[in-house]
């Protein structure tokens, strides 16, 4: 009965049992937030911390997070590590292979702006939000497992606040096409970005 | 064998050429470009040297006109090590492959082709090793510039 008190529900007592009435948003969002399956992939040293978070000491499973080895079964992509320009088209392809609704956590300084590789590096993508929309950024080099789990809890809160059927507003997205309010998939000069294309940051200016 | 002895040994086998100790590194012998595959074959197969283990080969860029290729070899029989250096023309660096002598030279040469733009005639599979296949330029050249490269402010 304690649990029932916590949920935004209306319980009606009738002589032979009860009827539970609640919001569709609440049910669907809780279903989504409580079983976030993340994709099993890591790019660099942050992946070690992701593995530590998934192992028994920190135990990701208690947030309902289980890794899946295929993008087709995942809801969440944790980009853990340095994303190079060579790897970027693959990560974009993996993101596009995930079924909707899908979420992205960018873990570590590398995924925000290149981190330690911001200066003097020609091969590192300076921020994964240049190719995929990011919901949560977790800072650190690498972030501790607690920080990553905090990021996941923040993402769950974000999901719980969603409205079913309403377009999601993505706070972490740096490149939004102002005309359509969609993630930037259009290059200012030549049009669509193909999944296998190598994207240079200078091609990804926000349209103005 | 010490580097001096290596230089003497090579001089005895190739009397027409000069072999000097590199002024930048006392463990390194400068060898002429014309001798590149033969002299390595000699060092590998000669009973007095037996350089049967190829450590690595790499490049040093000296703009504006010089590119050095450094080879390092080791003998598991005599437990001696030597570095050989070939000076190349930076505009058009081209040196015959040694990948038929030591198998692991194959990837070293692909790496130098990728990052320094050195061309290795005779190499079986000269593709880029690290950068994407359609990458332009050779990133470890000192004058390399790329739109993604943010130079660290001093
Ligand atoms: S943020 Fe730090 S720990 Fe994480 S991938 Fe980059 S360099 Fe490695």
pLDDT tens digits, one per residue of A27-40: 888 888 899 999 99
Q: Among A15-24, A130-139, B109-118, which range has the highest average pLDDT?
A: B109-118
Same-domain check for residues A169 and A184? yes
Interface contact flag, A122 B151, Cβ < 8 Å:
no
List C-alpha distances in Å: B136 to A121, A204, B38, B94.
15, 19, 33, 18
User: Tens of pLDDT along A171-195?
Assistant: 444 444 445 444 443 333 333 333 3
Rounded mean pLDDT of A106-112?
84
Binding site membership of A82 for ligand 1 (Cβ less than 6 Å): yes
CATH at B84? 3.30.460.80
Could you tell me the distance, in angstroms and rounded to a whole number, from the CA of residue A201 to the centre of ligand 1?
20
Work out whether the CA dihedral A117, A121, A123, A127 comes out positive or negative: positive
Q: Is residue A54 within 6 Å of ligand 1 at its C-beta?
A: no
Provide the phi-psi class of A106: left if phi over 0, else alpha when psi is between -120 and 50, else beta: beta
pLDDT at residue A129, as a whole number: 79
Cβ contact A118–B150 (<8 Å) = yes
CATH number for the domain harbouring residue A180:
3.40.50.12280
CA-based nearest residue to A68, from A86, A49, A107, A94: A94
**Which residues of chain A are within 8 Å of residue B136 when distances are taken between CB atoms?**
none
Assess: ipTM above 0.95. no
- CB contact under 8 Å between B147 and A202, yes or no, is yes
d(CA A55, CA A39): 15
Nearest CA in chain B to A126: B148
Please tell me which residue of chain B has the smallest CA distance to A88: B132
Shared-domain flag, residues A70 and A139 = yes
Instruction: Quote the distance between the C-alpha of residue B45 and its chain's center.
Output: 19
Residue B140 placed within a domain: no
Pair A43, A10 in one domain: no
Instruction: Evaluate whether residue B137 is within a structural domain.
Output: no
Pairing of strands B66-74, B53-62: antiparallel
| Cβ contact, residue pair A121, B149, below 8 Å | yes
Residues A21 and A69 in one domain: no
Contact yes or no for A67/A35 (Cβ under 8 A): no
pLDDT score recorded for residue A47: 92
Measured in Å, how far apart are chain A's first and last C-alpha atoms?
A: 54
pLDDT tens per residue, range B86-95: 999 999 999 9
| Whether residue A180 sits in one domain with residue A116 | yes
Residues A1 and A79 grouped into a single domain? no
Question: Taking residues A158-182, what's their average pLDDT?
Answer: 58
Residue B10: inside a domain: yes
With respect to residue B127, please indicate whether it lies within any of the assigned structural domains. no
A169 Cα to the center of ligand 1, angstroms: 28
Mean of the pLDDT values across residues A8-29? 74
Any idea which of A9-13, A132-136, B109-113 has the lowest mean pLDDT? A9-13
Report the separation in Å between the CA atom of A4 and the middle of ligand 1, taken as the mean of its atom positions: 43
Q: Which domain holds residue A158?
A: 37-207
pLDDT reported for residue A180: 47
> Do both A11 and A68 map to the same domain?
no
Question: Would you say residue B62 lies in a domain?
Answer: yes
Residue ranges making up the domain that contains B49? 3-116
Residues A108 and A9 in one domain: no
Would you say residue B91 lies in a domain?
yes
Q: Which of B132, B149, B150 sits opposite A198 (nearest CB)?
A: B132
Co-location of A63 and A12 in the same domain? no
In a domain, B154, yes or no: no
Query: Same domain, yes or no, for A26 and A119?
Result: no
Which residue spans within chain B are E strands per DSSP?
A: 20-21, 28-30, 53-62, 66-74, 81-89
In chain B, the number of structural domains is 1
pLDDT tens per residue, range B52-64: 999 999 999 998 8
Do A115 and A198 fall into the same domain? yes
Distance between start and end Cα atoms, chain B: 44
Nearest CA to ligand 1 atom 2: A141
pTM of the predicted structure, to 2 decimals: 0.76
Q: How many residues does chain B have?
A: 154
- The chain-wide mean pLDDT, for chain B, equals 90
Asked if the Cβ–Cβ distance from A126 to B148 is below 8 Å, we say yes
Residue of B55 and B150 predicted with greater confidence: B55
Same domain, A80 and A166: yes
Number of domains forming the structure of chain A: 2
Q: Do B151 and A200 touch (CB under 8 A)?
A: no
Do residues A177 and A188 touch, judged by C-beta distance below 8 A? no
Best mutation site among A53, A141, A144 for ligand 1 pocket (most ligand atoms within 8 Å of CB): A141
Q: Give pLDDT, residue A181.
A: 47
Rounded-to-integer distance, Cα B43 and Cα B141, Å: 30
On whether residue B86 sits in a domain, the answer given is yes
Query: Is any atom of ligand 1 closer than 6 Å to the C-beta of A115?
Result: yes
């Amino acid at each position: 009965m304690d649990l029932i008190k916590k949920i935004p529900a209306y319980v009606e007592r009738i002589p032979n049992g009860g009827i539970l009435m609640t919001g569709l948003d609440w049910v669907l969002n809780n279903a989504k937030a409580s079983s976030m399956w993340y994709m099993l992939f890591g790019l660099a040293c942050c992946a070690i911390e992701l593995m530590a978070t998934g192992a028994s000491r920190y135990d990701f499973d208690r947030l309902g997070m289980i890794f899946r080895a295929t993008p087709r079964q995942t809801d969440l992509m944790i980009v853990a590590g340095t994303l190079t320009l060579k790897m970027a088209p693959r990560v974009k392809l993996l993101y596009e292979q995930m079924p909707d609704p899908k979420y992205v956590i960018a873990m570590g300084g590398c995924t925000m702006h290149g981190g330690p590789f911001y200066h003097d590096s020609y091969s590192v993508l300076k921020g994964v939000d240049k190719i995929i929309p990011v919901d949560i950024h977790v800072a650190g080099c690498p972030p501790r497992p607690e920080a990553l789990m905090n990021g996941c809890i923040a993402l769950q809160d974000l999901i719980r606040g969603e409205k079913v059927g309403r377009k999601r507003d993505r706070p972490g997205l740096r490149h939004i096409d102002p005309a359509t309010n969609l993630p930037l998939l259009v290059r200012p000069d030549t049009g669509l970005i193909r999944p296998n294309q190598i994207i240079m940051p200078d091609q990804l200016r926000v349209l103005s | 064998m010490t580097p001096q002895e290596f230089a003497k040994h090579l001089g005895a086998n190739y009397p027409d050429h000069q072999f000097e100790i590199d002024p930048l590194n006392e463990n390194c012998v400068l060898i002429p470009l014309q001798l590149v595959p033969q002299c390595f074959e000699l060092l590998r197969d000669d009973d007095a040297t037996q350089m049967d283990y190829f450590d690595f080969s790499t490049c040093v860029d000296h703009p504006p006109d010089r590119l050095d290729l450094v080879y390092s070899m080791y003998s598991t029989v005599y437990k001696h090590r030597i570095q050989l250096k070939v000076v190349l023309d930076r505009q058009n660096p081209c040196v015959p492959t040694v990948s038929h002598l030591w198998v692991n030279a194959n990837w070293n040469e692909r790496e130098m082709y990728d990052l320094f733009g050195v061309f290795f005639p005779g190499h079986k599979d000269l593709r880029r090793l690290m950068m994407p296949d359609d990458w332009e330029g050779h990133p470890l050249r000192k004058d390399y510039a790329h739109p993604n490269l943010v130079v660290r402010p001093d």
